[in-house]
Amino acid sequence: MILGRAISVVLVALAGSLSVCMGQTAGWVRGTVADSLTLEQIPGAVVEILDTSGATASYELTAEDGSFLFGDVVQGEHILKVSILGYRTRTVAFGKGPAGVDLGKILLSGEAIMLESAVHSDQAIRSSQSGDTLSYNAAAYKVMTGADSESLISKMPGISVNDSGVEANGRDVRKVMIDGQEYFGDDVLTALKNIPADMIRQIEVINKLSDQAELTGVDDGNSYTAINIVTRPEARDGALAGRMYGGYGLPDKYIAGANLNYFGKEQSASLLAMGNNISRYNFASEDIVGASAVSDVGSDKSFKVKPLPGISSVQSAGANYSNKWFSGSYFFSRIRNRNESFNDKMTYLGGDRKQFTDSRSDFNALNYNHRFTSKISLSPAPAHSLIIRPVLDIQDLGDGREQRSHQENLLSDGSAKFLREKLNINNNDRFAVRAGGSLSYRYRFPKRGRTLVISASGNYYKNNYDNTSDQYTFRTESGLFDPEEADNYSSQYRDRLTEQLYGSGGVTYTDRIGKRSRLSAEYRFSANRSYGENIVRLLDKALGDYFPEPDIRQSSINSSRFITHTAGLRYNYAFRKISLTVFGGYQNTGFRGVYTMPSGGESRRGFSNFIYNVVANVPFDQENSLRLDARSRTVNPSVNTLQSVVNLANTSNIRAGNPDVDPSYIHEVGLRYIHTDRDAGSTLSVSLNYTGSSNYLCDSLVIDSPDFEVADGVLLGEGNQYVKPVNLGGYSKFYGKMTFGFPLKPLRCNMNLTSAVTLSSLPGMINADKVPVHRNWYSLGARIDSNISENLDFSVGYSGRFTQNEYSGRFGKVNNNFLTQDATAKVKWVFWLGFSVTAATNYRQYRSIDGRYNDELVLCDLYVGKRLFRDGLGEVSIGVNDILDQGIHRYSHSISASGTSDTVNSGIGRYFSIQFVYHLRTYRN
């Protein structure tokens, strides 16, 4: 009823306004931007329409074919301004009558680029700003022949690349586009690894608006950082670019793969495939089975499967296609993983008492992933626009783990007391599918600035999880872990089903309320229905099979529904390139839960919140810009969190749900400043971010309480812990980062300096006592990249991070501070007759300040090779990875409110190999 009334009100208002706005005189203006010498179209150029005072009325980016279209330009005199890095800015004056205006081809003349002879020209075109877009000139950065775009952008100031992703100016990069078209969906690293550096003319770091904001022209606060790659004209004229590679090593190591890219003026296509057994991941996969994170079907988060610890064999394939109205990508991967790990865990029991658990695990997993994403953009008429985004994810994961553990307590007098030894055998099968998409439609009224946007989205998610768990307990210390000698044996079978159906819809009506202001009325409705079965069957030891009846204490069947209504007003002010957007609204969420097992029941709850959003963009001039983002959001607890069931599968770590928790209400503030000095060729970026919550959803632990009742008739027991979710205040996190990049003229190198600080406070509870955990990071880094020639490429870098961990409770303060250092050096040199030397060294240190551990790792690779073929695009090389064989073990350390954990995982180690690579190019380098 509420949704129906809201839509009726909006439609009546629109019907009343149609007769008024039909008389307004506005129409389209179009044209094409091209190079004055080659006449090639220029994509990614900023086209602005200025009024007579010089203020920006509206702006667009040219499409892949260099075209632009404005659909609501009023009558009168205007100035068109076209700008892009590497070309001189051009302005065109024109008059607008009742009809549309075709400005034809607008030709831009290039700026002189003489990198070898004119150092000042080189510096002047390294980077520039236009509004909130930061552009880098690719010609100002030297990379090796055949290098990919990842190698290129890693040299640019303010951009960092690592195994987990790409960060630009303090924000994670979520998408890569080529000439304005999305490339390989959300997989940033895959996109960068498959785009040749020599086809790039310009790198643009942009603030990409959401689909709805693009249609309304008003920033709704859901923007994200993206990289747009502007290609050279000759590289998109039906050109082919790719790479084929293969290698084999001893003992028994291999890698083989290929990628092929076609770039045309109106469409592009890419294919890639790879196989190896050295833990090389070609692209990221969505974790929708919940192996590495709990997936929420109504969330916008992208849960990527991180590379698993241990040794992985990976087979993968992918494809991407895009044209003017469609872009889509498909990925497939098969990952087999094995890992032998050792873990030392220490748990604080209070006072000077501690519990130590030493364990060894053998883990095997087989993971299949399918992922399809696409974007469809339609504009059948200037007044109508439609964006559709379908998505499909399928994941099939099976894994098994055998864990042997030894537990003892360290008493206050310093003596050790043996508790138990355990053998746990777990086998899991997970299958999950997620299908859905979103749709956004815009109608642009004849009156300038008046739009109606209707949006809808939906997702279906299903996850089947089967688990068998066998646990053997030994009360006598032997270290043999013989199941026949166990003092206690338990086994259970768990069958869990989770289904979620999420749907949302919204209406946004926007109109001008002055020369520089717009006001939007917004309404949004969402519904999230969840159904969960968690059936546990215990072993009937007499029959040797599982009981047909579920164990009521651990089993549950429930369903839940979250229905959310959000209504509010959004005000936007824009003058020249300065913009301010403020949103305030009311959000009401209703929850209904129905519980069938272990006992019948129903609960209803309601939550109301004021939500806000503020976005400000202030480009002071062409060298300085400032952006402010502030918002609030709510995070609903999952259906598993809200169930009142206790999971006894692992008696050492018993977990329970809590139907009384509330959604977390979170505040977020971000500030970003960028300064570019065209004369010095330097770029400075400062990013400050704060997150806080007064009812953060976290864990409450019960430890060292053997008589604590976790369920009817079930006691916690000695040495075990009980975990339950609760809401606590006191969550805060501050993150600041500064990067400064500049050229070292005497060395012909680029220098990038980085500093960062994180100050966080995480609430927690142990034995009903609030135990906040304070985690602070302080880091410094420096990197020098060569900018000499295509035959010599080297980099030297250092990063150090000091970590402080402290938690306070009734037992006092406990500190765990450590230092992490990472020093790298890489070089590739092609010299006489095309012979080459490639070497890399990486030194890593993890050192605890209290001397508890000091792990040092030195990885060295060395290859010698020979360039092949007349153009030098082929190369064969022979060498060794990890000369010192120190990568056979990988270390990790973590801390929580209850203690510390130190883990040693398996690694690849040393191997000798011969490799061949060939780079395909059909365009002129």
* Percentage of the chain modeled with pLDDT above 90: 35
pLDDT score of 682 more than 50: yes
Please tell me whether residues 647 and 582 are part of one structural domain.
yes
In a domain, 663, yes or no: yes
CATH for 187: 2.170.130
- The residue ranking higher by pLDDT, 125 or 208, is 208
Q: State the Cα–Cα distance between residues 233 and 675, nearest whole angstrom.
A: 29
Please tell me whether residues 135 and 98 are part of one structural domain.
no
Task: Write down the pLDDT at residue 729.
Answer: 84
Instruction: Count Cα atoms within 13 angstroms, Cβ side, for 445.
Output: 22
Q: State the Cα–Cα distance between residues 472 and 539, nearest whole angstrom.
A: 13
Judged by average pLDDT, the poorest of 52-56, 102-106, 554-558 is 52-56
* Percentage of the chain modeled with pLDDT above 70: 88
Q: Which of 165, 32, 144 is nearest to 785 (CA)?
A: 144
Task: Write down the pLDDT at residue 415.
Answer: 82
Q: State the Cα–Cα distance between residues 190 and 314, nearest whole angstrom.
A: 15
Please tell me whether residues 92 and 182 are part of one structural domain.
no
Task: Write down the pLDDT at residue 564.
Answer: 94
pLDDT score of 17 more than 50: no
- The residue ranking higher by pLDDT, 100 or 632, is 632
Please tell me whether residues 96 and 132 are part of one structural domain.
no
CATH for 76: 2.60.40.10
Task: Write down the pLDDT at residue 809.
Answer: 57
**pLDDT tens readout for residues 70-98:** 876 777 788 888 888 767 788 888 877 66
pLDDT score of 615 more than 70: yes
Amino acid at 898: S
Contact criterion met (CB below 8 Å) for 62 and 43: yes
**DSSP SS3 for 852:** coil
Domain boundary among 53, 79, 108: 108
Average pLDDT, integer, range 828-856: 88
Contact criterion met (CB below 8 Å) for 40 and 230: no
- The residue ranking higher by pLDDT, 718 or 21, is 718
Where do we find the tokens 């998610």? Answer: 461
Judged by average pLDDT, the poorest of 165-174, 214-223, 287-296, 308-317 is 287-296
pLDDT score of 275 more than 80: yes
pLDDT score of 9 more than 60: no
Query: What are the residues whose beta carbons fall under 8 Å from the beta carbon of 50, sequence distance 6 or more?
Result: 56, 57, 78, 79, 80, 81
In a domain, 337, yes or no: no
- Look at the chain and report how many structural domains it folds into: 3
Contact criterion met (CB below 8 Å) for 906 and 312: no
Please tell me whether residues 572 and 531 are part of one structural domain.
yes
Task: Write down the pLDDT at residue 63.
Answer: 75
Distances (CA, A) of 281 to 190, 241, 324: 9, 21, 30
In a domain, 139, yes or no: yes
**pLDDT tens readout for residues 328-358:** 999 999 999 999 999 988 887 766 778 888 9
Average pLDDT, integer, range 771-780: 88
pLDDT score of 290 more than 80: no
Q: State the Cα–Cα distance between residues 449 and 459, nearest whole angstrom.
A: 32
Task: Write down the pLDDT at residue 394.
Answer: 95
Task: Write down the pLDDT at residue 776.
Answer: 92
Task: Write down the pLDDT at residue 4.
Answer: 46
Query: Based on the number of CB atoms within 10 Å of its own CB, is 138 exposed (0-12), middle (13-18) or buried (19 or more)?
Result: buried
**pLDDT tens readout for residues 435-455:** 999 999 999 888 888 899 999
Please give the residue range of the domain that contains residue 84. Answer: 27-108
pTM equals 0.78
Q: Which of 333, 334, 332 is nearest to 372 (CA)?
A: 332
Neighbour tally for 882: CB within 10 Å: 19
Q: Which of 645, 639, 641 is nearest to 714 (CA)?
A: 645
Task: Write down the pLDDT at residue 812.
Answer: 58
pLDDT score of 26 more than 80: no
Position 36 confidence tier, pLDDT thresholds 50, 70, 90: confident
Position 626 confidence tier, pLDDT thresholds 50, 70, 90: very high
Task: Write down the pLDDT at residue 112.
Answer: 45
Please tell me whether residues 69 and 133 are part of one structural domain.
no
Where do we find the tokens 């980016």? Answer: 61
Neighbour tally for 53: CB within 10 Å: 9
Position 568 confidence tier, pLDDT thresholds 50, 70, 90: very high
pLDDT score of 858 more than 90: yes
Q: State the Cα–Cα distance between residues 811 and 704, nearest whole angstrom.
A: 13
Judged by average pLDDT, the poorest of 115-129, 547-561, 691-705, 793-807 is 115-129
DSSP code of residue 586: E
Q: State the Cα–Cα distance between residues 718 and 475, nearest whole angstrom.
A: 12
Average pLDDT, integer, range 90-118: 69
In a domain, 395, yes or no: no
Task: Write down the pLDDT at residue 781.
Answer: 94
Query: Which residues are 442's β-sheet partners?
Result: 385, 453
Task: Write down the pLDDT at residue 299.
Answer: 36
Please tell me whether residues 86 and 134 are part of one structural domain.
no
In a domain, 797, yes or no: no
Q: State the Cα–Cα distance between residues 568 and 143, nearest whole angstrom.
A: 50
**pLDDT tens readout for residues 646-679:** 777 667 778 888 878 888 889 999 999 999 887 8
Domain boundary among 771, 797, 823: 771
**pLDDT tens readout for residues 213-267:** 878 777 777 888 899 998 888 777 788 889 999 999 998 999 999 999 998 888 8
Please tell me whether residues 80 and 180 are part of one structural domain.
no
Task: Write down the pLDDT at residue 810.
Answer: 54
Instruction: Please give the structure tokens belonging to residue 422.
Output: 């355990």
Average pLDDT, integer, range 422-437: 94
Please tell me whether residues 79 and 209 are part of one structural domain.
no
Please tell me whether residues 91 and 138 are part of one structural domain.
no
**DSSP SS3 for 641:** helix
Backbone angles phi, psi at 452, to 5 degrees: -125, 125
In a domain, 677, yes or no: yes
In a domain, 342, yes or no: no
Contact criterion met (CB below 8 Å) for 163 and 115: no
Position 21 confidence tier, pLDDT thresholds 50, 70, 90: very low
Please tell me whether residues 71 and 127 are part of one structural domain.
no
Domain boundary among 108, 142, 170: 108
Please tell me whether residues 73 and 189 are part of one structural domain.
no
Q: State the Cα–Cα distance between residues 855 and 835, nearest whole angstrom.
A: 37
Position 7 confidence tier, pLDDT thresholds 50, 70, 90: very low
In a domain, 423, yes or no: no
Mean pLDDT of the chain: 83
pLDDT score of 293 more than 50: no
- The residue ranking higher by pLDDT, 368 or 766, is 368
pLDDT score of 25 more than 60: no
